[in-house]
Structure formats: structure tokens, C-alpha cells
Structure 1
């Protein structure tokens, strides 16, 4: 009998993963932070557990925990309710081979944003709860709880995307562009063909991994009887010759990279048995509306999401190239035939569809669904096809974006956004989600009943949160932080009541950050008006302990692009405090276009990147210049990726407004960036080249008159180095002085225990050279 998660915890409260320490004394000696210490081990953030899971039998709570002596290496730990203790279940250093990862796995990790992590970065419980599938150093291991570890693979190639089947009978993985399957403990064999260098089976294509949040390329049915497998043909995708320039040599990679306006890979989907038999091709082009799809090339679409539902059918989300419509296809798993269940359209004529994972197929045939159709991201409950009694208001039945009338009811509403569907208790009819209902700056766990639609906040104010839930919606694993408290993780019941700490991470006498608490400066939050004079923009400012009559330089951090919300009340780590300790004011501002503020807030970026962001960030600089403690001649910009692009655009638009700019890994021409991201906001450059020309950072590059530091990793596979090399050439040809720091062998993530302090010391040496220094 399966033990309920909440009952397990109430019966046996968890001890701390690390031993509790005595509270810190009132007197703490102030110690200024250095960049060397910020990036050293142990992490000043404290322990950062990842991927907490409950074993199938309820006996163990497991998670990945990083080491004190190596903040980026993770091992598998488990709490055994029978012994009441935490133990390391798998030591990554003891069983790891140390073999170098394949280039495919390295790049896949970069796109999953875990390229810096070592040791165990993922794992999966066996169905019987007696062991764990552990990928490590490119191979697979089966670790049993009695300490026995069986090596399942031992090859020079990496086993990508490993998974246990739904019932645990099979283990599957991708090797050498084929999908391999075998019974657990037995030899695996390929169940797809080897078809040449441009065909991949079981892998998500580049843009799916990098931009669509989809890392999976195959999906097991609930009964282990069938597998849906992606087949990707990259033959028509253009090649970017990526020179991974390293310290002692250069490797050249011909990378299939679909730049904006070019052909994407052809993606197909097949359903087959675990041995590859009874293979059928899924009809992914069924009923394409020619208004939104390419008549001449029906394969020109995106495979957005794939799911097996409780009704035994496969459901596929198909997105058009322009990303203005998304069709939910219902697929017969035995024939591959499909039809459209419903279509979701963009919330506005000049907008796009933001792909999310905030949906769940329910046992009664209905679907929890996330949509921005009312201007904000909210949850809806869609009844089974042909059940038109869920919406009572007649006027609502005419606004279903092509749906059957009356098949949707809205569960949450208001001028705020649901950011993540956490879990569902189907027996009770309750959904759990993250949202910013109470504050733009705080994400909180909420619940909503399907029948009453009353929303309840389950986490305390003053923190921002992330959360996961067990599959039955019986207990929550919540991680909270604030500007004065690093991340803490605890288990809670369905009402949000804390049952036990998993990682309290208290700032006590033994915490790594405690020596720096005395100089920790408080964050101040506020709003200014956007360039339109109406919209509120949120900012965060951290100032050093200032002396009366003195003016201080500003380190103006920005990202500015669509997606990430920068300004929150969460813990941002010690880096900002190190900058403040150096005598600078840290300032950041979320302009129009950033996430979690609704459609109208994001929409100004439509076909106009590099425009409204510049205008709004200019208002931030102007605001800073009104403050009597700010030196108006010492405001320095810093941004990475989109932020690096924005540094260039801001310096070009307003020479003299900023004292200097640091541009890290910038996009300089959007024609050089990938299809799914770029065309979502900018459209196809073949149809609107003037928008791309206006957004480019190249034509006005020589207008920059303020000091510029350009930084780029020379093996970047995301924002390819050609973006910077073209800018470098234009500036040199125009006799415009600038400085640069290039990092051989590093990708889009230029980071490491020695490289990170080198980069940040370089940045502040650059600022000091140009007189942007503290008055002290």
C-alpha cells in the first residue's frame, strides 16, 4: 500500500540535512567581499538542493545536494524514514569515470542551463522503489538502496536523455542519434535506424531545447506498451561554422543552426512498440488552417509539446511558424491519425503565444490549461470534447479563439499572472500554482478549487517562492528566499503549513555568508514611470553605507529583454553585495517587455526589439541622476546576452548619458540569432527586413563615444561569436576605441571558480581606468 506523502512526514518529521548550528551572536565582524570569495566554495548561498523526489513506496525523500568543497558538484542524498537519518545514496566521485562528455551532451547541458554542474545532475527512481537510475559522466548506473551499483553502459559516446519507462520495465536513451531500449539490467539495442549525419531519433531539435523549453525527444505511454519518438531531419538547416577557440588549439564544429528567416529542421513523430515494431507515423499536418500555416511547406511548424493522457491517447501541441496559433491534436496511438481538439490563438493581433508547461490532462477527460486570452496568464478548465456546459455566460462563448462554444471555464482571473502550475489533487478538485497576485515582486504558492474558484495564498508574504508537488497533490516542496535570506526548502501540507525543513539554510554562526552579514546592505524597491508616462516600472537599488555630502557611482545591471523578470524580493546571491562593498550603488530596472506583467506590458516589443527597452532604461538613468547621493557622471551599464545587446543600443541612442558600458556576449544582428526566439518577436526578416535593420546594433555602432568593454566566450554556441566579430570589425574600421576580453574555450556561460573572478575583476579594473570609482 502506498504511503501518503503528508502522512509520512507527520509520522516522522525530517531532521535538517545539515546539523543545526547555534544561533549567531549579535556581534559579527564586518568583512568585505571579494570576487574570489563570491565564486569559491563553499557557496555563500549555502546548500542548494535540487530535484527532490519521493520514492514510489514512500520510504525515501531524495534530492541532489552540492558539496561544501565543490559548490558545483552534486551527489544523491536520501532521507530514510525507518532509520530517521540522511545518507549519501550515491557518491558521484566514487562511481564516476571522469570521462569527458560528448560534444552533444555538453551542448545539451548548456541549453538546459546546467553546463556548469558536475556529478549527478538528474536521476529517476525505479518503479519498485528499490533503486535509482543515475546518469554520470556520459554513462548510466543503476544504484540499489543496499549499496550495490550496476554499470549499465560503458561507451565512449554519451547516453543522452536516459529514462526509465513509466512502469519501470525498460531503460531507454539516445546514443549515436538512435533511440536505444532494453529491459532494466539487460543489454539495450537500437529500435530506430541509423540514417546518416542529418537524422536524429529521440532528440529535441536545437530550437526546442534552446527556446521552447522542451528537452525531450521521446515519450513512454503509461502502460509501457508504446513510445512516441521524434525523428529530426536537419538537412535543410543552415550550417554555422563554430570555431571553439581554446587555450591550446581550436576545434571547428559545423553546427546546424537555423538563423532567423532560414529553414528549420523537419520534425516528424512516430509511435512504436518498445522493440521498434508496429511503427506508425503521426499525422502532424492534419487540418492546417492556410491562414496561419505554409501551404507550400506543411512541415514548416513547431512540435511544441507531446503528452500521453489518461484516456490512452497521445496529444500533440502544434505551433505555427509565426507563433500566433497553437493546435492541440488528439492522436490515435495505433494508427497515428489525428484531429484538432481545440486551437489557442494569440491574445492580441500584434502578439504571440508564450509556450508553457502549465497544463495537465485529468482522469475525467478534462484539461487544466493556461492561457493569456484575457490579457494575463491564467488557469482554465476545459471539459472533454463535446461537453458544452462548463461556461454559463453567453458572451464568453463567443470568445474561445476557435474552440467549441462553452468548453472552457476560467479558474483564476485578475490583473496578475499565474507563472507555474505546480500540481493537482484530482480527488479534491484543487489546483496548486505559483502567481504574483499579491505583489509583482513576489511569487507565491496558491490553491484554487475547481468548483468555487476561490484563490488562497499558502506561503507567507515577504518571500518569493518556487515549488514542486507529488503526483497526487498531497504535499508541497517549497523553496523560499528574500533579499536577506538565502534559499530555504521545506515540506508543507496542502494548506501550506510547514511540516519539516529539508534545508533550513539559516544564517547562523556556521553559515558561509555569516562573516559578511555586517556589511550586507538592504535592498530598496520602488517604481518610476515608463517612457509612456503611464506604466509603472519596478526597480531595485542597493546602496553602500554612504557619507553625507558624497556622491556614489552606479553599477546599472540590466537584462531588458523578453522573458526574465530581474527585479524580485528573492535572494540574488553575494555578487551584488560585493559590488556594493566596492563602493558602488547596484541598480536594476524591469522595462516593458519583461515577464509576469501581462500581454499589454510585453506587447511593445512586437516587431520592435531595441526600442521601448532603450526608452524605459533611459528613464531609469534619468531617475538616478535626480538623486543627490548619485554621481550623475558615473553611471555604468552592464548586461549579458540580451543585456549585452541592450548595452550597445543604449550607448548608441544616448551618448554621454552613461559613463561606460560593459557588453557581454551580445546579439548584434538578429539575423544571426535563431528562428523560434527571434521570429516570435520580430517576424520573418524576409517579410519585414526594415524591423531587423532598425533593431540591429551594427549600423550605429560607430556612434558610441563612451568607453566600451566587450566580453565574449569564443566557443559560444548560443550567441555565436560572429555577433561580436562583426561589431569588432565595424568599430576598428571606424577608428572607434574600445576594449575587449575574450575567453577561449568558453560558451555562452563564461563562469568558473577562477574565470568568474577574473571577469569581474576585469570589469572593475575597466571602470577604475575610466574614473568610475567610489569617492571613498
Structure 2
């Protein structure tokens, strides 16, 4: 069977000369078969424009900064990355390479940008330096020009400063004068100032190590000492077959972690105040936030076994700490980014899986739970906006089905029955809601709908297309449409009765009287979902076009199905997941199209039957 897979790989890569035959080379080539896809969609704070990142025609992976001006309906490029780089290829520092790998950023050019609070300026990094673009200006202003690489740049809350990390230390620069202030000097070697360590980035979803106070007078930051962590070798494989050995500090289970301290530095005198993180040193500093008063820092402290999470308020004036709430689990706790402090009251929003599903709750500052804001056997994924004036909370979740994400609203006056779905179209929606919650940008797709971006009223009514991306004769995928294979979705029951979702792609020229080889594309979890009602032109499409049945099943242990669905694999990986995949294979065996004489061979994350 190993030989058969290898032969099939050669056949698929070779393809044929016909324009309608989809090859691997075309799959990864430019322009993207997704069409003119946009990323990083943001609404300007003043509501005047929508900005986004868009790939070049010659290479969709190289991004430029664009805008859609709402009043005029005009789309134009704001910054061409080639103009700044001078046509040269951008060389990243090892720190930036690692940071982008942790964030799964595979593009180049302008890969991130930030608005100032008033929306009059845009900040972006490129080529190791920082640039600020005044809205309406013809070109960006260079803010730094050094041999070192500036990373993790942010505007201060009022927009007067830009902060960043250079040589493992924390800096700020005055936007108007260009005056630079170095806020730390200890960083270097195994000491990281204001930087998230490997585990924080890769496992906890925290990619920064510093946080501005709302009044921009102070910055909370981490001091990380990596020296206790053992050095190991990591191997990188290049496309030409070369191997690079890289030394990396990696904390294996049962071995020492980094040590983390949390400090607060004042801009005026550069003095640092250290916050007590507790008696237990072997912890994870999971999240850090400021309360609106700029006096209190909220930090989330997680136990090494990930079974306890404390939300702690540190009072910088009295130098005291108060544990506001504690979450515990028999298995593990999933972290979240759903802590929001209400500015006009002494309340905050928190999310928890204590009901068995992630939902949103309203608390007062003493830690008393006031009421649930959402409830039910479905999962909330993330808060998108809090409209205190209008009394509504906007978030994304999986209310109707776990294979589609949508935007919803719910009343801040606790009433789970007020739940309203705002994205109408079937599919997977990624949204950005304006500060005043009057409009939102909807970037969505479905199996028959390539990624498209629209500006909508908050009730979901279309205002205008930012990128309609119609699948017409001019679309990059048009030559391949006649053989396009769309997935079929369905459900099976696990051995314990749990509902499992699957997708099935039949060969392009499917004949019910014939039998076909099947490819079972497996990940298994945790934290990953493979079956989604979204657009996807990938290697599975090539397999289906070349006579294979492609099957995916989200087994127990995968995400967006609730805590009990995930917890099955606790201290028992390889049991429920394999059982569920066997259930999927048995389902395939029951279909007449399956090639019954086949055998199974595991090839990485893929089984060919």
C-alpha cells in the first residue's frame, strides 16, 4: 500500500496539460484560487473606512495595506510593501520568525497594523522597523531605523506613544517628537522583558508580554527567566532537502518551566513596581488586563497542572492582591480572552465552561456572579464588542450547529432569551464590530461561496461589499469549476451515542456503481476542528478530482462541542479518538462506493483505505 500511495502522489503532481485540470503547482500558485481574499479587516474608530491586508497579484502571500472608504465607495492601496522594502526580500530576525510561527502567520510584507484611538494614524512593522501612516498622507513616516528588529509594536491608549520590544527590552517612542525612552535594560540572553515565552505563545495563546494602562501613564510587563529550561535541538527541513539544527529551550512535562515576574513601569520616571504573583512559583501567567481606573491590574494565574485558574486584582496603590474568582476542573481548564470590564459600572464579563459549555457571565468587582448572559448546549467562541450605551453584548459562537460560526447579540440586562443571530448566510463568519456597535464587517465563506467581505448594519443588513469575490468567469477558480467537488455533511453516532460530525467528498466523476479508494483525513484534537461549513480549496480537492473519496470526522476530543466532548481524552489519548475514526471507517465500508479490498496505512495525519 505504501508503494500505491507514492505512485498516486507522482500522478497527481504531474497532472495533465488541460486548463481545467487542477495540479498541486496551481493549488499553491498565484493568484490564489480563493480569489482576491482580504485579511486583517478593521473598522476605523471614526467609522469612516474599512482597512485590510491584501496579497499582490504576483504572489498572494505578500501583503499590502488597503482601505475601503465608506462615503465614496472607493478602494485604494494605502501602503505598498515594495515601496518600503525597495523590492528586496524581507529578512526576519529569529525572534520574529518564532513569533510569527507561534501566531501561524505565513504571509510576508505588511502582516499586521494598528489604529490610534482617534483613527487618524496607522502603525505597522516592516523590514524590522516601525512606520506610522497619517490618514490622508501620501507616504508613511519611519518611526525607527536601527540594525535591531523591533517587534510587538502597539499604540498607547491615547495614541501619544508607540511601544515595542527591541533586543529583549521594552521601549516607547513619542510619535510627535520621535524621542525614544528605554523602559528596561535587563533583557538579553535568557532574560526576556515584555515578551511572551514559548509556552505562553504556543500553548496559552498569549503572544505579548506587556500591557498599557488606560491612562497611558504606566505599562505592566513580564520579566521571564528562561535559564531553568533545558536546551534541546529542533530540526527545520527546507524545500531543497536541507536540515537546519536550532537550539531551543523547551519545558518537557515534569521539567522546570521559566520563572515569570509581573512588573509595572511608570513612563515619567521609569521606576518599576513588582506585583506579588503568590507563594507558588511553578505557575503559568495566563492573562493580564487593566481595570478602567488604571490603578488595578487583573492577572490570571493558572496552576502547573492546569486544573485551577485564579483571577486576581492587584491594587498598585495599597500594594495588595485580592483573588476575585477561582475556577477548578477535574481534567483541565481551557483559557479564553473574554474578560471585559464595563467602563460605566462596577461589573465585568467573564466566560466559563462550568456548565459544560463555554458561556458568558456577568460579575461584580467583588467576584459575585450576578447572572449568566448566555446558556445552553452550545459554545460561545469570543466577545466582539460591548455596547454599554445600547445595553448589548456582541459575540461569535456555534448556537445552531457546531460546523458554522455566527455573530450574535444578547442583552447586558441578563436575559438569555434575548439571543439574536445577526449573520444570516450559512457558513463560517469572522467579524469585526464597530466601537459604537452600529455596523460590522463580515468576512465569511461557505463550500459554494469563496471568502467575501461585506459591511453590514448591526442587524445584518448589507450596506456594501468590500470584496464580493463572485465566483464568475473572471475568478481564478473559474477554469476548474466544472470538476469542483463540494463536501457533503452528515452525522454518525460514537459507541457511547455521542453525535459526531463528518464531511464526505466524492470523486468528481462519481458513479454509484463503481468502487473507490478512500482517504481518511485525520487530526484528532484537542483544540482543532476539521469539519466546517466553509470554502476550502486544498489537497483534498485534488484527491477527489483524481478518483478518491475524502472523509473527515471530528472525533471526541476535538473542539467547539463542549467540555465533556473534549474531556474524554484526558489521560487517555488514542482511545476514544481511534474508536470514533474506526466508526467513521465502518460507515465508509457500508457505502457501495468504497473499495472493500483495501487495507489501511497511516501516512502522517492521513489514512488511506
SS, match of residue 133 in structure 1: strand
Q: Rate the CA distance shift 1:335–1:255 in 2: closer, same or farther, 3 A.
A: farther
CA contact (8 A) 2:92 2:127 kept: yes
Q: What's the CA shift for 1:274?
A: 2.1
CA contact (8 A) 1:120 1:135 kept: yes
1:512 equivalent in structure 2: 476
What is the 5 A alignment of 1:371-520?
371-385=352-366, 404=368, 407-451=369-413, 452-453=415-416, 454-520=418-484
Does residue 179 (structure 1) correspond to residue 162 (structure 2)? The answer is: no
1:703 equivalent in structure 2: none
Cα distance per residue 1:236-266 (max 9 Å; x no partner): 0111123446559765432111112111111
Q: Rate the CA distance shift 1:262–1:589 in 2: closer, same or farther, 3 A.
A: same
1:760 equivalent in structure 2: none
1:325 equivalent in structure 2: 308
Cα distance per residue 1:305-340 (max 9 Å; x no partner): 111122332111111111111111111234553211
CA contact (8 A) 1:375 1:600 kept: yes
CA contact (8 A) 1:371 1:377 kept: yes
Larger strand proportion, structure 1 or 2? 2
Per chain length, whose mean CA-contact separation is higher, i.e. which structure has more relative contact order (CA < 8 Å, sep 6+)? Answer: 1
Q: 1:345 aligns with which of 313, 324, 328?
A: 328
Does residue 69 (structure 1) correspond to residue 51 (structure 2)? The answer is: no
CA distance in 2, matches of 1:475, 1:495: 8
1:714 equivalent in structure 2: none
Q: Could you state the TM-score of these two structures normalised by the residue count of structure 1?
A: 0.72
1:203 equivalent in structure 2: 195
Cα distance per residue 1:130-156 (max 9 Å; x no partner): 332120121111223321322222233
Q: 2:122 aligns with which of 132, 135, 138?
A: 132
Q: Could you state the TM-score of these two structures normalised by the residue count of structure 2?
A: 0.91
1:258 equivalent in structure 2: 251
Q: Rate the CA distance shift 1:261–1:483 in 2: closer, same or farther, 3 A.
A: same
Q: Rate the CA distance shift 1:214–1:195 in 2: closer, same or farther, 3 A.
A: closer
Q: What's the CA shift for 1:560?
A: 0.5
CA contact (8 A) 2:200 2:207 kept: yes
CA distance in 1, matches of 2:352, 2:457: 28
CA distance in 1, matches of 2:501, 2:70: 45
1:594 equivalent in structure 2: 558
CA contact (8 A) 2:65 2:80 kept: yes
CA contact (8 A) 2:404 2:426 kept: yes
CA distance in 2, matches of 1:603, 1:661: 25
CA contact (8 A) 1:328 1:343 kept: yes
Q: Rate the CA distance shift 1:224–1:570 in 2: closer, same or farther, 3 A.
A: same
Q: 2:113 aligns with which of 123, 128, 137?
A: 123
CA contact (8 A) 1:310 1:365 kept: no
2:283 equivalent in structure 1: 301
CA distance in 2, matches of 1:425, 1:136: 34
CA contact (8 A) 2:34 2:451 kept: yes
Q: Rate the CA distance shift 1:498–1:83 in 2: closer, same or farther, 3 A.
A: closer
SS, match of residue 632 in structure 1: coil
Number of residue equivalences: 582
SS, match of residue 631 in structure 1: coil
2:3 equivalent in structure 1: none
CA distance in 1, matches of 2:269, 2:190: 21
Cα distance per residue 1:167-217 (max 9 Å; x no partner): 111111111111111211414242112354110101011111111111111
Q: What's the CA shift for 1:36?
A: 1.0
Q: Rate the CA distance shift 1:276–1:163 in 2: closer, same or farther, 3 A.
A: farther
CA contact (8 A) 1:311 1:365 kept: no
CA contact (8 A) 1:371 1:380 kept: yes
Q: What's the CA shift for 1:633?
A: 3.4
CA contact (8 A) 2:43 2:433 kept: no
Moved more, 594-603 or 199-208: 594-603
SS, match of residue 86 in structure 1: strand
Larger helix proportion, structure 1 or 2? 1
Q: What's the CA shift for 1:80?
A: 3.1
- Structure 1 unaligned residues grouped into runs of 5+: 1-28, 289-297, 386-402, 635-655, 665-707, 710-766
